[in-house]
Amino acid sequence: MNAATARARAQAALTDLRPRPDDIAADAVAGLSRTPKRLPSKYFYDAEGSRLFEAITRQPEYYLTRTELALLEARMDTIAQAIGAGVHVVEFGSGSGRKTELLLDGLDDPVAYTSIEISRTALMDSVTRLSQDHPDVEMLPVCADFTAPVPLPAAARRASRTLVFFPGSTLGNFGDEEAVRLLASMRRTMGEDGCALVGIDLDKDPAVVEAAYNDLAGVTAAFTLNLLARLNREIGSDFDLDAFHHRAVYARERLRIETALVSERAQTVHVGGRAFAFEAGEAMDVEVSQKYTDASFAALARAAGLRVTHGWNDPQDWFGLRLLRPV
């Protein structure tokens, strides 16, 4: 199958539920009305944000992606045995699809793949590549915000079970209550006989963690600031990108990176017909990146009605994959 054919098939199957400008504006106004101010990290991923994130994953300081890829490669045989044959893979946020490629290669006869991804460009690029390499796997992409319930398209071939795939430690971008709600949503998606394979970044030396979110090349800073550029372009806000800077600090007592955009000066920004005043040095929260221990992750899973049945770590215990099933 050539790229043009693969893209045409993926476009034909696409379910498009992506957020509209009014939704984005309402979320931004709600966040900026809070104390401290905040913006939703889910809006990082427009086409440029997705491109910048892929560049982040290739920075020498950013250990997460290369560690998880190596872990998938090393343990895929045992992961596939634990999951079983004939599954419908449902991925929450597909990104570039590099990890998905390893998963589909290693699983026994996967019948379908549904990626739920907020960036239409990243979604279609990923599914096009995957469909070329896996012509026997039905591609059913959904452009949507996976943090809200999403109806799944039905596969033509009956699957033995649903596997939710959530790599990259994306779960760590949610506070505990939000993470439990997301895991509970996964439980509903997988059903009583399904399972979920979740990536988690583990607690480690704070210097290693902080460096990953403050790369010397400044790619992460550009990625964070691109959120403001997207809001300016899509909802007509007037953030001055030169008047904010990126800050990411590992709060070890809370086991999480806390990322903010800090105002360089006193200023007023207009969003959704509202004016928001910033003081010099005021931090606007944009993302958390939670790190886990086995105990803390198991507790989250239990709160969502799930249990950890299998676990795999890299040799340094920097990153883990956990298989979850309903209690």
- The pLDDT tens digits for 274-318 are 999 999 999 999 999 999 999 999 999 999 999 999 999 999 999
Radius of gyration of the chain (CA): 20
Q: What is the arithmetic mean of pLDDT over 222-240?
A: 98
pLDDT of 8: 58
pLDDT tens for each residue of 150-160: 888 999 999 99
Which domains does the chain carry?
3-18+58-204+292-326 (3.40.50.150)
pLDDT of 6: 62
The answer to whether the beta carbons of residues 135 and 110 sit under 8 Å apart is: no
Collapsed DSSP state (helix, strand, coil) of residue 307: strand
Q: What is the arithmetic mean of pLDDT over 156-165?
A: 96
The answer to whether the beta carbons of residues 280 and 264 sit under 8 Å apart is: yes
Collapsed DSSP state (helix, strand, coil) of residue 282: coil
The letter for the amino acid at 320 is: G
Residues in contact with 77: Cβ distance below 8 Å, sequence separation at least 6, in sequence order: 106
pLDDT tens for each residue of 42-65: 899 898 998 999 999 999 999 999
Model confidence, pTM:
0.89
pLDDT of 3: 63
Which of these, 150, 152, 171, 169, lies nearest to 112 by C-alpha position?
Answer: 152
Collapsed DSSP state (helix, strand, coil) of residue 143: strand
Q: Taking 90 as the threshold, does the pLDDT of residue 182 lie above it?
A: yes
Provide the pLDDT confidence category of residue 252 given band limits of 50, 70 and 90.
very high
Query: In 2-14, which positions are buried (b, 16+ CB within 10 angstroms) versus exposed (e)?
Result: eeeebbebbeebb
